[in-house]
Amino acid sequence: MQTIKTLLLGTLLSFTASLNAAEPPTLNESDVAEWKTLKTLMFGDQIIRTGNESAVALTINPDIDDASTVPIHIDGLVSQNSQSYIKKLHLIVDQNPIPTAAIFELSPTNGNLHLATRLRIEKFTFVRAVAETSDGQLHMDSKWVAVKGGCSAPSGKNAGSDPLLGKMKVTFNKYRNSYRNERGGKVFRVPLEQPNVVKVQVRHPNESALAADLDTTVPPNFIQELTVGFANEEVLSAQVNFSISDNPAFTFSFSPNSEGDLSLTVTDTHENIFSQNISIVKAAKRTQNK
């Protein structure tokens, strides 16, 4: 697969890096040697719109004290609809062992682009969100992150097994109006035909292959695929790696047009598959602002 080839090439590039990432950036974000090579490998000679021309915005709090858990937020500056939408998003960390932290496939069902997760950062680096729109245009925003050691930090998670491995917690950020149906399944009452912000957190060590306390006799285990579907349509899918922090959390926008089941599936490198279904029903008007 092309994505796997890109990840492997990214790993090689990181280990042959020429930029001293421990120093503040003294050059333009587009002139970083690793990024210039990655850009050619991943996007060829395509124009990437930045600054005021970009349709995507990346937000990272500059006051970060833990390189193993760096919250990031990505917002689209255009609406998601069937005529025009952001269909793919690349999350890139220039100086990480695997620079391509995640590749998200999106759909008009998202209503708008809103994604959030937490990264491991190994060296001082630029983090980039590169979005591809349905008409083939590329847009980018980037931020400098001055923390390091997140990928090689001790995890303490490599030994033993966790009976709760893969357990998912799903919340709708603005609407807590939920109940259990007769089968014990979770049901959320949410407004239809407007974006709802959904957060999915998965209990998983998402072990870094560089962790200082990694038991080398046990292969590292991290999540590599996430799929979200609704009413037999794909809402979102992602290929990720250990650049995402432990107990991975993914927040995304979801705009259902009808009632139905939201299906969540996660696959890790040990071929474990975890899934959960959430029922969505229309919220009564009086409950939508609670």
Count the helix, strand and coil residues of the chain and give each as a percent rounded to the nearest 5. Answer: 15, 40, 45
Q: Which of residues 59 and 85 earns the better pLDDT score?
A: 59
pLDDT in tens, 2-57: 444 444 444 444 433 334 444 555 657 777 889 999 999 999 999 999 999 999 99
**CATH class of domain segment(s) 2-287:** mainly beta
Q: Which residue type, as a one-letter code, is found at position 78?
A: V
Determine contact, residues 223/240, Cβ cutoff 8 Å: yes
* The pLDDT of residue 11: 46
Phi, psi of 251 (to 5 degrees): -115, 135
- What contacts 64, CB < 8 A, 6 or more positions away? 70, 145, 146, 147
Residue 290 pLDDT exceeds 50: no
Q: Beta strand pairing status for 138-145 and 48-49? A: parallel
Outline where 129-245 has alpha helix (H).
Answer: none
Work out the mean pLDDT of the chain and round it to a whole number.
85
What the block records as the tokens of 121 is 């950062």
pLDDT of 217:
81
- pLDDT tens track for 193-211: 888 899 999 999 999 888 8
Domain ranges, ordered by start, for the chain: 2-287
Distance CA 116, CA 59 (A): 9
Classify residue 153 by its DSSP letter: S
Residue-level pLDDT at 85: 86
Residue 115 — very low, low, confident or very high, per pLDDT cuts 50/70/90? very high
What integer pLDDT is reported at residue 184 of this predicted model? 80
H or E element, residue 7: helix 2-15
Task: Give residue-wise pLDDT tens across range 155-190.
Answer: 765 655 788 999 999 988 766 678 888 888 888 888
Q: What is the pTM of this model?
A: 0.85
Residue 285, pLDDT above cutoff 70: no
30 neighbors 94 (Cβ within 8 angstroms): no
Contact indicator for 95, 122 with CB cutoff of 8 Å: yes
Q: Tokens 């858990």 sit at which residue?
A: 69
Q: Return the closest-CA partner of residue 31 out of 46, 43, 18, 42.
A: 18
Would you state the structure tokens that stand for residue 97, as one six-digit string? 């062992």
pLDDT tens-digit readout, 213-241? 887 888 889 999 999 999 888 999 999 99
Between 156 and 281, the more confident residue is 281
Instruction: Quote the pLDDT of residue 75.
Output: 94
